[in-house]
Amino acid sequence: MEDNLNCIYKVIHFIEKNYDQQISVKDLEEVSHYSYRNIQRIFKYSCGETIGAFQQRLKVENAYKRILYTKENLTSIGIEVGFANIASFSKAFKQHFGISPKEAKLSKEKLLYSPDLIPVTSDIVLEPEIVYLQPAQIYYQSIQTHYNNEEIELLWKKFMLNKFPASNPAFFGVIADEPLIKTEIECRYDACVNVQATNKKLPSKIILGGKYARFTHAGSYETIDETYTKIYSRWIFNSGLEFSHSPIIEKYERHADHTLREEEHLTYILLPLK
């Protein structure tokens, strides 16, 4: 796994060198040789924070060093470490350290305590099925949100108020990651079903169609991040597969309508392949 972590170390070193610059999706793809979707998720699950959060942390930590060891004014420091203006600098600094840059300059408290970022890999290797799936028409409702938070749960509660004619409809989640480098992994999440609702007209589109690596997540949806960690901090390094830019799809094979026991829930995670 040491060799396979080289791409993460390359990304870490690239960001450390260019933390004060605008880093583009193309930059990261060239450094890591992964698509932006995959490198964002690999970084998140291997390092414990997003690329955007890591870059922001480097900005405010380097700003604090300048506050301590130079006589530069705060506006100059903020701009030199990559912030557009003093307002955005002050906001990010306070979010990270709990005090404003002005307070830090006056108090000279010891605020730096973060250890070096060392990526880790999962001890467990998952083995997916490689499947070929036919295109499917689905009907959906969407939100823009951080992945895997309570807004998705609220969307599903609202979505399930619709009436569906089939006795056993198929439900999907479509996760289209936001193609920007941010402090959180953001996405457009679609709650989907394969039949039209009878009480209202839902928008429709085609999903699936093509080759996928299908992983199985058993148990509560609240622990699905653990399965993603095993995928993106271990399996993906050794797969030798080329990934598509299409969205990740979750198929809720066995859910609350099938069983009240969360440990019996079953979710397929479908990673698109070229």
Pair (144, 250) in one structural domain: yes
With b for 16 or more beta-carbon neighbours within 10 A and e for fewer, the 214-233 pattern comes to ebebebebeebeebbbbbbb
Please give the structure tokens belonging to residue 22. Answer: 């605008």
Which one, of 31, 1, 5, lies nearest residue 16 by Cα? 31
**Helix, strand, coil in percent for the chain, rounding step 5:** 40, 25, 35
Please say which residue of 75, 107, 139 terminates a domain: 107
Q: Count how many domains the chain has.
A: 2
CATH number where 54 lies? 1.10.10.60
Which domain does 29 fall in, by range?
3-107
Residue 124 located in a structural domain? no
Domain co-membership, 142 together with 241:
yes
Q: Is 139 exposed, middle or buried (0-12, 13-18, 19+ CB in 10 A)?
A: buried
Instruction: Specify whether 159 is located in the same domain as 267.
Output: yes
Is 189 domain-assigned? yes
> How does pLDDT run along the chain (274 residues), one tens digit per residue?
556 678 899 999 999 999 999 999 999 999 998 888 889 999 999 999 999 999 999 999 999 999 988 889 999 999 999 999 999 999 999 999 999 999 988 886 667 666 678 888 888 889 999 999 999 999 999 999 988 778 999 999 999 999 998 778 999 999 988 777 888 888 899 999 999 999 989 999 999 999 999 999 999 888 999 999 999 998 988 888 888 888 999 999 987 776 667 788 999 999 999 8
Does the predicted TM-score (pTM) go above 0.75?
A: yes
- Residue 37, class by beta-carbon neighbours within 10 Å (0-12 exposed, 13-18 middle, 19+ buried)? buried
